[in-house]
Structure 1
Amino acid sequence: MRKNGTLSQWDDAKGYGFITPEGGGGRLFVHIKAFGLRPRRPFVGERLSFEPGEDGQGKARALKVKSLEPRPAPVTPPPGARSNDKGDISIGLVPGFAALLLACHLLWPLPQGLWGFYMAMSMATFIVYGLDKRAARLNGWRVKEATLHGLALACGWPGALLAQSIFRHKSVKPSFRRWFWLTVLLNLLAFAWVFTPLGIGPWQRLWA
């Protein structure tokens, strides 16, 4: 027998949540796989039709879930997350950094492989972000945030910025954003220290 309820809790990154049945009763666990193929992600407050069932351990869960909403859900950030209105603005750092590299190369010749290394790391980081976004949708094996930060620190942050804007992935979580921008800052400081007069003099004196 099918029942109706409301999605009262949902973790989109992990792909599961809870449905509160209409007319009372305990909440039922629901996994993203129970929704089948649908054009939009589940959202808190969505009215649903489902079949009560149990998992392998005998715990109640919702099965064969269908939406009762007549129109697509409005796109809203998760609770506690900041708006990403500045996301498109931050993309301007990518061409800005490319211009900085060119200016530094004209003033103080840079190593031949530096451009290629930034491009290769950015491409690798972009791909890893894409794979992690896909895993989040399919509830698959996720990439550790420490790995994403490590790639950004290792000259892959331009690719990370592009991935965050294109995939809309890791672009609103405050704690992740703070660590990400720290990796960008550290990478830029390392670049200035090693490849510009700001650090070349002290660097040479250190190893003299």
Structure 2
Amino acid sequence: MKSSLRSGKLTKWKDERGFGFIQPVDGSQEVFLHISEVKDATRRPQENDTIYYHCVVDLDGKVRACNAFILGARNKSASLNSRTKPSDAIVSSFPIVEVILLSLLPLVGAIHFTWTTRNPLPLLLYPVMSLVTYFLYADDKSRAKRKDWRTPERTLHLCELVGGWLGGFIAQRVLRHKSQKESYQVEFWAIVIIHYLAWLFWLLLGRTLWV
């Protein structure tokens, strides 16, 4: 059961691992905080931040913070819309324009490849792997909240490389997962660039080489 709203100072924070500890204002035992429980933040937590949070007790008796926010770094527009239905939130956060723009070149390339080679594999692989990758992101975020074993990042990147990068992009925007970790983003966009270069090569030279 969640406690009433509490506050404390973030005395320890390991940004690369996404967790830290809050020292409550009443001087009681430190409370564990995971980045997935920081809501509507305009930036990532930093040491000495004042954190407002609720407490929950895990089955193993450990106390952790949930539904936390950073004093002075809360997205006001998001907090005003906190009563929005989850389905409405997903729809409103879906990056329609970005998805269309990002998928335009691969779609044209895949259609051209299918027409030229009579092989529909890319047209089938992109949507299938995007769905697989999206659900892997969702499962990994759920595991993070439960503090369970995580899906290895190399597995996510492998699925993106095979064709699921668009599903990964959608998951990053809709689920707000893996979108703040710089090292992950570097590898992710490198994979996107590889796909773009491959389709540019095909559209410019592939047909000539095929013939």
Query: TM-score when scaled to structure 2?
Result: 0.60
Conserved? CA contact 2:106–2:199, under 8 Å: no
Call closer, same or farther: CA 1:12–1:127 in 2, change over 3 Å: farther
Call closer, same or farther: CA 1:181–1:66 in 2, change over 3 Å: closer
> Which one is further off, 183-192 or 90-99?
90-99
Q: 2: CA distance between counterparts of 1:167 and 1:106?
A: 32
Code of the aligned partner of 2:122: L
Deviation string 1:151-189 (CA, Å, 9 cap, x unpaired) is: 111111111111111111111222111110101111232
Q: Find the structure with the greater CA-based Rg.
A: 1
Q: What is aligned with 2:139?
A: 131
Q: What is aligned with 1:30?
A: 31
Q: 2: CA distance between counterparts of 1:14 and 1:182?
A: 22
Q: 1: CA distance between counterparts of 2:68 and 2:178?
A: 30
1:45 aligns with 2:50: yes
Call closer, same or farther: CA 1:158–1:63 in 2, change over 3 Å: closer
Conserved? CA contact 2:116–2:207, under 8 Å: no
Deviation string 1:78-115 (CA, Å, 9 cap, x unpaired) is: xxxxxxxxx94643334424642466258745512321
Gap regions ≥5 residues in structure 2: 1-5, 77-93
Q: How far did 1:129 drift?
A: 0.8
Q: What is aligned with 1:84?
A: none
Query: Comparing both structures, which one devotes a greater share of its residues to helix?
Result: 2
Q: What is aligned with 2:20?
A: 17
**Equivalent residue pairs, number:** 175
Query: TM-score when scaled to structure 1?
Result: 0.60
Secondary structure of the corresponding residue to residue 143 of structure 1 = coil
Conserved? CA contact 1:49–1:66, under 8 Å: yes
Secondary structure of the corresponding residue to residue 141 of structure 1 = coil
Query: What CA RMSD, in Å, does the superposition of the two structures yield over aligned residues?
Result: 4.6
Q: 1: CA distance between counterparts of 2:133 and 2:10?
A: 34
Which residue of 182, 197, 206 corresponds with 1:199? 206
Q: 2: CA distance between counterparts of 1:73 and 1:196?
A: 46
Call closer, same or farther: CA 1:30–1:13 in 2, change over 3 Å: farther
Which residue of 96, 112, 116 corresponds with 2:124? 116
Q: What is aligned with 1:156?
A: 164
Q: 1: CA distance between counterparts of 2:102 and 2:190?
A: 16
Q: What is aligned with 2:182?
A: 174
